[in-house]
Structure 1
Amino acid sequence: MSTHLASQLKSELFSRYSLVPSEQWLSDFLSGSRNPSHPLPSLTSTAHFRLLSTDFTTALSRRQGQLFPSTISDVHTKELVLQTDIPVQVLDIQDTSTSKWAQIEAIERVERGEEIRGREVIRNVPGVNDDDNGNGGEQARDSSSRPSAASSSNVPSDSKKGSTGPHKLLLQDAAGSKAWAFEMSRVERITIVNSNPPMPGAAAAQVPAEGIQIGCKLVLKKGTKVRRGLIMMTPASTTIMGGRVEIWDKKWRDGRKARLKQELERENAN
């Protein structure tokens, strides 16, 4: 591996994305690159793309300045301000604006192949009225079968659209430290959608229509405020880079309904 090239690539990743890969990750990346002689901008974009689908705790250098302060989760600390940009990854996301039961119902509608449009329940019925072009299925409309779900003020008008939040996110830095963040005002691209995630191999460098995913990478900008152990997320303080860790995202999606039910049972018991 060219020491000069590695140094240049590290500098570019930091200046463009606030990311500093570990020496081991950088060495593996350049060694496995088909053509490390590509122009630096192209090589930087490829490295960035790879980092977005990689666990930051193994891929990034644990630079002290780019890690959470030791008191970030201390509820006794009235307020602190992040002194540098800190790259993090999403481990969990919660919709705080919608009841857990409404979220469970939304997940189950998708499982049944339904979606809500206004007061109508749209069912995708496979194999009905197939045409010669192979368009298998039709949409069956039912405006009365589930009026309570469709008319709920907390349920989006289309169940395949994302939650509007505010959201609460569990974030992790390169050293593995975790902290909760709250969406103080709407941050574009942060949403939960109950449809299936993209197929494996889909472009990880973008946050797709399916909403933010587990393992998605963010940068908390210098000046971000933390109050009583909770990071205050705003559009001005947050850069969403995208990406996901596929195995984490699948596990989170597969278990989300069960977790919501458990939380609902605990709340009812209390």
Structure 2
Amino acid sequence: MDEEQKTMSTVGFVGAGRMGAPMVRRLAEAGHDVRALGRTSEKRRAVQELGAHAVSEPGEVADGADVVVVCVFTDDQVREVCLDGGLLDAMPTGSVLVVHTTGSPRTVEELAARRPEVAVLDAPVSGGPHDIAAGHITLFVGGDDAAVERARPVLAAYGEPIVHVGRPGAGQWVKLINNTLFGAQLGMLREAVSFGGRVGVDETGLLSAIGHGSAASRVIGLVEARGSVQSFIDSVGEFIGKDIAVVRGIAAETGNSLGALEGLLDTVVGEDALSESNR
């Protein structure tokens, strides 16, 4: 029991929503002392129902925390809560900030430069709320080796595998590249289904058959479960559109091109979808 107690941490949490709520629940169930932000009385009640202590200000989230987890939806929200909201400045020296939000690697680098005495990890996730609830969501983690090890007992409450991919910002790059490939595969699959339709092959049958062939992939399995490429794209469009917009923006800023991937991504998220995802 003494050894288990040593691994328990005081955890601050911002973003107890669709993805964050099951994280908070698993952290509390694992025995960590969790304080989660809830700006309204309704959200504070929801936080308490998850087994955490509800607080109303970012400074209270950070007070005495060993690890602070941020799981908001957009990069702008990360900057708002961490910089404008004072969360980063309120964190104790030697603590670790974990950013699960998929966004710009430059944001994480800026946070790390703002307070060098706080370790910053970017740890975007691959999976959904059901994976978090089961304790096996994939985490792509960028950051210092020692900081990753300090945060590991916290991340392990809901993350498996925890894949350390390099320096701060590398986790974001890996996630963005992963989602770019994901979107491109959807684009390829949409083109294949369209071609199949033109030659008289039913989409349902095609998806089922390909799943048993040399072109089988995880993406095809997910699409087949939804019944059609369009149905699946509709279900993930908001999230994949946001990530593709980010990677396109960062690629342009750094003078890079996505090459042949661009046309495939256009078949999944056109300009209208990208504009919607950025609202």
TM-score normalized by the length of structure 1: 0.26
Q: Which has the higher strand share?
A: 1
Higher relative contact order (CA 8 A, sep 6+): 1
Q: TM-score, normalised by structure 2?
A: 0.25
Which structure has the larger Rg? 1
User: In proportion to residue count, which structure has more helix?
Assistant: 2
